[in-house]
């Protein structure tokens, strides 16, 4: 996929699990939510795997190790090996290893996932700025991460030690709601030091590179629920993407998406891997998908017809993205979305 301006979701005459060799799947909001499998996820992934598609799980959460993530997925009924899990901890550890000598000490502000990834790259995790670290790495450490860890990072960074972050997601979903993510913790250290970290996680290239190196994918499909990490990461990596509406993105956010946040395909959930995707075609002054026609007026999007709600949303995307060009759509979409129950 080139980085030209996308003006509509694409269609596929084949099931996506047949058209692509590897699914690079986000976890939270795609496969599970609050630790529990999302409806249709287990059976859809089993069918895709049985048909020959390689499944890899790609997460910005640097707290848990690949072994722990694989065990969790297996318990949910999705048999997974640690080699099928790629984390931002692994991506940032590789980034650090390319800039400091083998055997270097690295000050860890985060959890076990970071420590395991650093050791895998021949680096030595340490806990104090007084341990003469060659780098500082910061990743999500969970709700119990002590405030003093941020001070430890600040002391080392103020001495000129290079600073790395696994990712900068400001929030993270939890069983009780939305909680501060690693990006919020990175902001604490940024305010204290005035420094800028090198970041590895989605949507940036080091994370995409890590997934390709570890999976060997030749025709990957990124599957996610977030426009600013999953879909933008696919855009940056110049690969196709499937947005599922089981996580944080709603219809209004999708319609307003700038070019780097526009997915190749849109579906309700992971059953979208098992089917073709309907074509969105120009018709008159608008776009048709299934039984719906969408047009962009001077101030609002208009929708006419009936049928599957997702077909209406796909048609609306074509009208909105075309009207927006290289920007994001400012047209009132409320009435059109209300017709679809979205």
- For a pLDDT cut of 90, what percent of the chain falls above it? 92
How many domains does the chain divide into?
Answer: 3
Last residue of a domain, one of 199, 222, 246: 199
- Domain region containing 111: 89-199
Same domain, 194 and 237: no
Picking from 49, 110, 53, 91, the residue whose alpha carbon sits closest to that of residue 74 is 49
What does the pLDDT look like over 303-312, one tens digit per residue? 999 999 999 9
Of the pLDDT bands very low, low, confident and very high (cuts 50, 70, 90), residue 3 is low
Residues with Cβ within 8 Å of 195's Cβ and at least 6 positions away in sequence, in order, are 157, 163, 189
Same domain, 51 and 69: yes
Q: Where are the beta strands (DSSP E) in the chain?
A: 22-25, 32-33, 36-37, 54-59, 85-87, 105-109, 124-126, 135-138, 163-165, 171-174, 177-180, 198-199, 220-224, 240-244, 265-267, 281-283, 286-289, 292-296, 301-305
What does the pLDDT look like over 207-262, one tens digit per residue? 999 999 999 999 999 999 999 999 999 999 999 999 999 998 999 999 999 999 99
What does the pLDDT look like over 70-86, one tens digit per residue? 999 999 999 999 999 99
Give the per-residue pLDDT at 2. 43
Give the per-residue pLDDT at 25. 98
Same domain, 115 and 168: yes
Give the per-residue pLDDT at 253. 95
Same domain, 239 and 305: no
Last residue of a domain, one of 172, 199, 226: 199
Q: What residues are annotated to the active site?
A: 26, 28
Same domain, 80 and 210: yes
pTM, full prediction: 0.93
- CA dihedral (65, 168, 247, 291) positive or negative: negative
3-state helix, strand, coil in the chain (%, to 5): 40, 25, 40
- CA dihedral (65, 69, 70, 75) positive or negative: positive
Residues with Cβ within 8 Å of 160's Cβ and at least 6 positions away in sequence, in order, are none
Is 164 strand, coil or helix? strand
Structural domain contains residue 341: no
Same domain, 109 and 170: yes
Last residue of a domain, one of 199, 217, 252: 199
From the CA atom positions of the chain, what is the Rg in Å?
21
């Amino acid at each position: 996929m080139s980085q030209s301006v996308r003006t509509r979701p694409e269609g596929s005459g084949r099931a996506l699990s047949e058209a692509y060799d590897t699914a690079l799947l986000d976890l939270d909001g795609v496969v599970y939510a609050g630790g529990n499998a999302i409806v249709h996820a287990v059976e859809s992934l089993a069918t895709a795997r049985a048909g020959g598609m390689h499944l890899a799980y790609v997460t910005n959460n640097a707290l848990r190790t690949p072994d722990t993530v694989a065990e969790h997925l297996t318990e949910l009924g999705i048999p997974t090996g640690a080699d099928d899990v790629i984390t931002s901890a692994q991506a940032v550890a590789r980034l650090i290893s390319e800039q400091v000598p083998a055997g270097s000490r690295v000050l860890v502000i985060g959890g076990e996932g970071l420590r395991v990834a650093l050791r895998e790259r021949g680096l030595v995790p340490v806990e104090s700025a007084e341990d003469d670290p060659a780098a500082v790495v910061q990743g999500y450490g969970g709700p119990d991460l002590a405030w003093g860890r941020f001070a430890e990072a600040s002391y080392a960074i103020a001495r000129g030690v290079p600073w790395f972050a696994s990712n900068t997601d400001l929030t993270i979903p939890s069983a009780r709601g939305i909680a501060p993510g690693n990006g919020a913790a990175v902001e604490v250290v940024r305010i204290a030091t005035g420094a800028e970290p090198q970041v590895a996680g989605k949507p940036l290239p080091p994370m995409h590179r890590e997934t390709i190196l570890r999976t060997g994918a030749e025709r990957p499909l990124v599957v996610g629920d977030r426009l600013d990490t999953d879909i933008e990461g696919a855009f940056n990596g110049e690969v196709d993407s499937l947005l599922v509406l089981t996580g944080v993105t709603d219809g209004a956010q999708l319609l307003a998406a700038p070019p780097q946040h526009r997915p190749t395909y849109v579906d309700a959930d992971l059953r979208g891997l098992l089917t073709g995707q309907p074509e969105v075609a120009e018709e008159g002054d608008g776009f048709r998908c299934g039984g719906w026609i969408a047009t962009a007026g001077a101030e609002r999007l208009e929708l006419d017809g009936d049928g599957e709600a997702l077909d209406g949303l796909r048609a609306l995307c074509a009208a909105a993205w075309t009207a927006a060009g290289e920007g994001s759509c400012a047209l009132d979409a409320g009435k059109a979305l209300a017709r679809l129950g979205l």
